Chain A
Amino acid sequence: MSFDSPTWIVCPIILPLIAGLLCFLFRKNTFFIALFASLANLLSVAILLWQFLLLGPMRYSMGGWQAPLGISLRMHGPTILMLLMTAVSGLGITLYARGYFSFRIAAPKRVGRHERQERFFWPLWLLLMTALNALFLSADIFNLYVTLELVTVSAAALAALSGKPASQIAAFRYLLVSLLGSLSYLLGVVFVYKTYGVLDLQMLRQVASPGPGLQAALALMTLGLLLKTALFPLHFWLPPAHANALAPVSAILSGLVVKGSFYILFVLWFDIFASSISQNALNLMGVLGTGAIIWGSVQAIRQQRLKLLVAYSTISQLGYLFIAFPLALRGDGGQGAWAAVAFMVLAHAFAKSAMFMAAGTIFLHMGHDRIKDLTGVRKCLPLTSFAYAIAGVNLMGLPPSGGFIAKWLLLSSSLTSSQWWWSVVIMTGSLLASIYVFRVVSRLFVIPAGKSICACRPHSPLLEWPALVLAMIALLLGLIAPYPLLILETDTLVSCLLLGGGL
């Protein structure tokens, strides 16, 4: 298999899948299988990236079966970015999960239960990775449904892994909501198929034309995906599910899983059916996004538990993605919004994973996550505290983070397209974000005089470093901004000159 063979495109799907199955078979050394899979995934994504930069977008039909019956994969700019995001975060999460579980297993209580959790975690996580990769690579809307369901199944199982009643109830609710969303989406797919008779994304783009059938289909698909993306006011399931899961799982759910459904939504609205979308619908999305930003932030502000705060902040941050909707497809602001979404997704994935990891480490060490009792954590967990703070910088959208670039692009498009009210929302959102971030950070970093408040148990560096590295990636994303843009730009879809020159 040479490096420019199109077969590499299946590797991000096949490799984690095989590794996941192997993890079911072998009880021992599952971590190393997972680590290997994560690394191999990263490597294959890197090769894909190299191919992409060299050859441009590509399609691949599995087994030689052509659409409509065969399964075809496609790769374009956004796909590559999402794959990269999954691979990098995935590697970080894998490493962190190792540290997390070994720390828990090292604890004297409930060793068996913790071991069992670890045993189930790895295959599920690898399956989820498979599903996500497949989702990003899928080239037709029905395959998207299947991969969505795969994501749902593995994510729900992961969410229930902690075994506590609260987490199981939350996971069940999550599963039901996801099913509803998937079915809603599937119904939309059916409508599309009924109207146009094609499933393939490329073909759909060519044949799509406005009409009641498409309206109904798009409404159903959008609603389903919004449910899964937890956009306000359909976010009710997210905080308990994310907050009650194990820390690595929270990182996965908040950082990656919600991005999957959003990716589909985005592709549908801006790639496939872009020509038939009305400004009203875009504005409605913006309004919902505004609601999410404000409501999520306010709820995050009033939370007393760290993980719930972080979960609500996810709701708020997802709102920004929808603010981009009314800004796209409008004058020259549109391309800016495109790039803004890409940066927002990437930065949020890294930052939120890092934040949940940090929160998990803090929980492990303190035995609780009551915000008001977190004073002085920096003393024993300096790296974790820094990771949390840096991730927070990202959420606030302060430079030079990826969040900043995203906010800059959003602001810029809103002002060029004379929709300044969205920029007010964005600024308000950042200020509220700074409130909830600093609510925690200011406690973490104050070292009270007198006795230390948490006993520092020895722990592996895997518990602290992955979070820090991911947070740093999110922070420095702003500085390497030209590269993601280059990837986006190589695609035919975004043919604008986003690059500031120089490269």
Chain B
Amino acid sequence: MIGGDLNHGIYALMLSLVAGTPLLLASLCCTPMRKIAAQALPLAAISALLASFLVPSYVLVEVPWFFMSGRMGLDDTGRIFLCVSAFIWLLAALSGRNQVDNDPENNRFNGFFLAAMAGNFGLILAQDMLGYYLFFALMSFSAYGLVVHKGTEEAHRAGRSYLVFVMIGEVALFLALVILADSANGLLLEDLIGVTIHPFVLVLLFIGFGIKIGALPFHVWMPTSYQAVPAPAAAALAGAMVNAGLLGWLRFIPLGEVVSPAGSLLFIVAGGLAALYGVIIGLNRKRAGTILAYSSISQMGIMTVIFGLGLTGLDAGDHAAFILILYAVHHSLAKSSLFLGYGVLANRKGPLSKWHIAGLLLPSLSLAGMPLTSGAVSKVGFKELTNFVGEPWLVLSGFFLPITAVGTTLLVLHFIRVVRHCEGSEKTGSTSGPGAWIASLLAVSLAIWLWPAVQIHVDYSIAAAKLWQSLWPIVTGGLLFWAWRRCVRRREIEARPFVRDINTIQGHCSGFDWWKKLHQVIGGIEEELKEHEVERRNNLVPYKSFSWFLRQEMKSIYSFNGVASTVKVLISGLSGSGYAGIDFFLRKTEKIMGRWTVVGLSYVLLCILFFFFLG
């Protein structure tokens, strides 16, 4: 027994250390011992990685006193997410330690980096709603520090739009949580099982977590932020933190427990649109971070679709949950690898070598669904899911998936081309060592082979027919890309900071006239949003015209102030210029009342009055 207790204690300690280590290190950043924290940056993620392998599922840490009672534990879903996240954070930390070493602000960077890490780990472990919310908030707000880290005008703008959306997400989540807690009669995640979820809550959750994963109307922050953050942080942002949104959906809308046709429609439509939209806009962007962000939007769109499919039925839900996790792992590894690679290559001197190109191509094609990569496995899983769900969503596997695959291929090729051209243009400090990148490449290529649970899908995906199914969109995409590049006049891609894409679009996209109009419309909306942001920033007092309007309103509404000012005049002894008339009247009346004749009259009058009144 004692041994058992001891073991349990150790596991509990390990569990606590998962989020605790980064938090402790983050607080060290505020003390003179900040150098230690900077050195120990990777250590923070290692404890999480260890825990994800060692701590068994039954270990639960209950802290009833903490923040309306908290519970931490590591279930199967959490374990996968924790493992992947910890790995990505580890790589990001390793590359980040080198990259921001000579940055004067590196201490601040480390602090926010660690806090975001703690948030990310904590939310994976959280087994109660508020714990999830707490760590989610910690992660989201800390990531702001990463977004604005570079301190450029552009970074601040990105940070601002990031913050706006984070706030909207927080509020939506808050509302959703309140309603869920009310209907579930408990705060633990397991209380949610069997609870009917109001469609309104679904919408709120869609907004709250959708913002994190860049679901369609709420993706605006993503491209700017991905472009603005330093590459290591971007890897963490795109690889680990986006998953918090997916995990949130999985936690709060437990697939396999909930069926919601309306919800599935919402998720599938929004996801499908995002998948296409991300590709279309991404092709028109000229900076690597932005392009990757749109790729993320697109990929996350696909995952949203998977989630939506999971909402169509109970069995489908179970199925979809697994596919979703698989897809998420695949995307995280690939995307973080791309960012890490971009971080290595952005500041290189000289042209790219073959190896570099190959290193970029591996995760890129994996994203596109190249056979024998995790991408292919995931896409096959997606197809199985649509087959399982059946009509009306069967159409997705027939048209939607190949189209997105083609699009993704185009997009990643576009990305590689951009990276080739942006020699030494990004000022991200010194170039980081390639070690982390290489590790991530290994993970991309090996992960699915080492993951026992997905072997069925893997086997399935390497059947010959499937291989071709996965391959043709990539070939098509490659051919299209080649054709596009031939059509477009060769020109140096401008890579100066903050290019207003819409202004240069005509020169670049002459080959694709048919979507120029569409793009202009969409780009116009985005510009609009940006303009709005700029305006908001220029006036530190926000919404100036609105404020003017309010002030006018105040003047008319505030009749109480009118009373107050009258009293003020009274207080100043009525001597103000505008009230001389009243003052004069009062003085005169008082004088007249003092005349003997008037006194006599009032005396007699009152005498008579009293005489009669007394009767």
Report A-B touching, CB under 8 Å.
Answer: yes
Binding site for B on A (CB under 8 A): 177, 180, 210, 212, 214-216, 218-220, 222-223, 226-227, 233-237, 276-278, 280-281, 283-284, 288, 298-299, 301-304, 371-372, 432, 435, 438-439
Q: A278-B613, A284-B610 are in contact. Are A439 and B602 (CB under 8 A)?
A: no
Residue in B571, B586, B606, B611 whose CB lies within 8 Å of A435: B571
Q: A220-B607, A302-B583, A304-B573 are in contact. Are A234 and B602 (CB under 8 A)?
A: yes
Chain A binding site: helix, strand, loop or mixed by DSSP? helix
Q: A236-B599, A302-B583 are in contact. Are A277 and B567 (CB under 8 A)?
A: no
Residue in A288, A299, A439 whose CB lies within 8 Å of B571: A439
A301 touches B611 (CB 8 A): no
B570 cross-chain contacts in A, Cβ below 8 A: 298, 301, 432, 435
Q: Which residue of A lies closest to B568 (CB)?
A: A435
- Sample 14 A-B pairs with CB under 8 A, ordered by A number: A218-B610, A226-B606, A234-B599, A234-B606, A236-B593, A236-B595, A283-B613, A284-B609, A301-B574, A302-B573, A371-B573, A435-B571, A439-B571, A439-B573
Distance, CA A304 to CA B609, complexed state (A): 35
A215 touches B611 (CB 8 A): yes
Q: A215-B611, A223-B610, A281-B610 are in contact. Are A299 and B603 (CB under 8 A)?
A: no
Chain B contributes a number of interface residues (CB within 8 A of A) equal to: 26
A236 cross-chain contacts in B, Cβ below 8 A: 590, 593-595, 599
Q: Which residue among B567, B593, B595, B603 has the maximum number of chain A CB atoms within 10 Å of its CB?
A: B603
Q: A234-B599, A435-B570, A439-B573 are in contact. Are A281 and B586 (CB under 8 A)?
A: no
Residue in B571, B587, B590, B607 whose CB lies within 8 Å of A219: B607
Distance, CA A218 to CA B607, complexed state (A): 9
Residues of B543-593 at the interface with A, using a CB-CB cut-off of 8 Å, are 567, 570-571, 573-575, 583, 586-587, 590, 593
Q: Which 9 A-B pairs have the closest CB atoms?
A: A236-B594, A219-B610, A219-B611, A281-B613, A280-B613, A215-B614, A302-B574, A281-B614, A223-B607
Distance, CA A372 to CA B606, complexed state (A): 38
Distance, CA A439 to CA B568, complexed state (A): 10
Q: Which residue of B lies closest to A232 (CB)?
A: B593
Distance, CA A331 to CA B331, complexed state (A): 87
| Given A219-B608, A219-B611, A283-B613, 8 extra CB contacts under 8 A | A177-B599, A223-B606, A223-B607, A280-B614, A284-B610, A303-B573, A304-B573, A438-B571
B607 cross-chain contacts in A, Cβ below 8 A: 219-220, 223
Distance, CA A301 to CA B569, complexed state (A): 10
Distance, CA A366 to CA B615, complexed state (A): 54
Q: A236-B593, A302-B583 are in contact. Are A284 and B571 (CB under 8 A)?
A: no
B573 cross-chain contacts in A, Cβ below 8 A: 301-304, 371-372, 439
Q: How far is the CB of A434 from chain B (nearest CB, A)?
A: 10
Distance, CA A370 to CA B501, complexed state (A): 73
A372 cross-chain contacts in B, Cβ below 8 A: 573
Q: How far is the CB of B597 from chain A (nearest CB, A)?
A: 12
Distance, CA A216 to CA B613, complexed state (A): 11
Distance, CA A436 to CA B383, complexed state (A): 85
Distance, CA A302 to CA B573, complexed state (A): 4
A234 touches B571 (CB 8 A): no
Q: How far is the CB of B351 from chain A (nearest CB, A)?
A: 72
Binding site for A on B (CB under 8 A): 567, 570-571, 573-575, 583, 586-587, 590, 593-595, 599, 602-603, 606-615
A278 touches B603 (CB 8 A): no
Q: Total number of A-B contacts with CB less than 8 angstroms? A: 79
A280 cross-chain contacts in B, Cβ below 8 A: 613-614
B594 cross-chain contacts in A, Cβ below 8 A: 236-237
Distance, CA A220 to CA B603, complexed state (A): 10
A219 touches B614 (CB 8 A): yes
B612 cross-chain contacts in A, Cβ below 8 A: 215
Residue in A180, A284, A371 whose CB lies within 8 Å of B613: A284
Distance, CA A387 to CA B610, complexed state (A): 40
Q: Which residue of A lies closest to B592 (CB)?
A: A236
Distance, CA A278 to CA B610, complexed state (A): 10
Q: Which residue among A177, A215, A237, A283 has the maximum number of chain B CB atoms within 10 Å of its CB?
A: A215
Q: Which residue of B lies closest to A302 (CB)?
A: B574
Q: How far is the CB of B544 from chain A (nearest CB, A)?
A: 36
Q: Which residue of A lies closest to B600 (CB)?
A: A180
Q: A299-B586, A301-B573 are in contact. Are A227 and B603 (CB under 8 A)?
A: yes
B571 cross-chain contacts in A, Cβ below 8 A: 301, 435, 438-439
Q: How far is the CB of A495 from chain B (nearest CB, A)?
A: 26
Q: How far is the CB of A69 from chain B (nearest CB, A)?
A: 30
Distance, CA A281 to CA B610, complexed state (A): 6
Q: How far is the CB of A384 from chain B (nearest CB, A)?
A: 22
Q: A233-B602, A234-B599 are in contact. Are A278 and B593 (CB under 8 A)?
A: no
Q: How far is the CB of B295 from chain A (nearest CB, A)?
A: 66
Distance, CA A372 to CA B571, complexed state (A): 11
Q: How far is the CB of B285 from chain A (nearest CB, A)?
A: 61
B611 cross-chain contacts in A, Cβ below 8 A: 215-216, 219
B574 touches A215 (CB 8 A): no
Distance, CA A277 to CA B610, complexed state (A): 10
Distance, CA A227 to CA B604, complexed state (A): 12
Distance, CA A432 to CA B566, complexed state (A): 12
Q: A301-B574, A435-B567, A438-B571 are in contact. Are A234 and B614 (CB under 8 A)?
A: no
Q: Which residue of A lies closest to B603 (CB)?
A: A223
A278 touches B614 (CB 8 A): yes
Distance, CA A219 to CA B607, complexed state (A): 6
Q: Which residue among A214, A283, A299 has the maximum number of chain B CB atoms within 10 Å of its CB?
A: A299
Q: Which residue among A222, A237, A303, A432 has the maximum number of chain B CB atoms within 10 Å of its CB?
A: A222
Distance, CA A435 to CA B590, complexed state (A): 20
Distance, CA A237 to CA B594, complexed state (A): 7
B606 cross-chain contacts in A, Cβ below 8 A: 223, 226, 234, 288
Residue in A180, A227, A302, A432 whose CB lies within 8 Å of B586: A302
Distance, CA A301 to CA B575, complexed state (A): 10
Q: How far is the CB of B589 from chain A (nearest CB, A)?
A: 9
Q: How far is the CB of B257 from chain A (nearest CB, A)?
A: 62
B615 touches A215 (CB 8 A): yes
A210 cross-chain contacts in B, Cβ below 8 A: 615
Distance, CA A371 to CA B572, complexed state (A): 10
B583 touches A234 (CB 8 A): no
A223 cross-chain contacts in B, Cβ below 8 A: 603, 606-607, 610
B574 cross-chain contacts in A, Cβ below 8 A: 301-302
Q: Which residue of A lies closest to B579 (CB)?
A: A302
Distance, CA A233 to CA B614, complexed state (A): 19
Distance, CA A439 to CA B575, complexed state (A): 13
A278 touches B609 (CB 8 A): no
Q: Which residue of B lies closest to A236 (CB)?
A: B594
A234 touches B613 (CB 8 A): no
Q: Which residue of A lies closest to B606 (CB)?
A: A223
Distance, CA A309 to CA B348, complexed state (A): 86
Distance, CA A180 to CA B574, complexed state (A): 35
Q: How far is the CB of A268 from chain B (nearest CB, A)?
A: 11
Distance, CA A372 to CA B593, complexed state (A): 27
Distance, CA A215 to CA B607, complexed state (A): 10
Q: A234-B599, A304-B573, A435-B570 are in contact. Are A298 and B586 (CB under 8 A)?
A: yes
Q: Which residue among B603, B608, B609, B614 has the maximum number of chain A CB atoms within 10 Å of its CB?
A: B614
Q: Which residue of B lies closest to A226 (CB)?
A: B606
Q: How far is the CB of A66 from chain B (nearest CB, A)?
A: 31
B593 cross-chain contacts in A, Cβ below 8 A: 233, 235-236
B615 touches A234 (CB 8 A): no
Q: How far is the CB of A383 from chain B (nearest CB, A)?
A: 25
A222 touches B610 (CB 8 A): yes
B615 cross-chain contacts in A, Cβ below 8 A: 210, 212, 215, 278
Q: Which residue of B lies closest to A273 (CB)?
A: B614
Distance, CA A235 to CA B587, complexed state (A): 14
Distance, CA A184 to CA B571, complexed state (A): 39
Q: How far is the CB of A364 from chain B (nearest CB, A)?
A: 23
A283 cross-chain contacts in B, Cβ below 8 A: 613
B575 cross-chain contacts in A, Cβ below 8 A: 302, 304
Distance, CA A276 to CA B574, complexed state (A): 44
Distance, CA A303 to CA B575, complexed state (A): 10
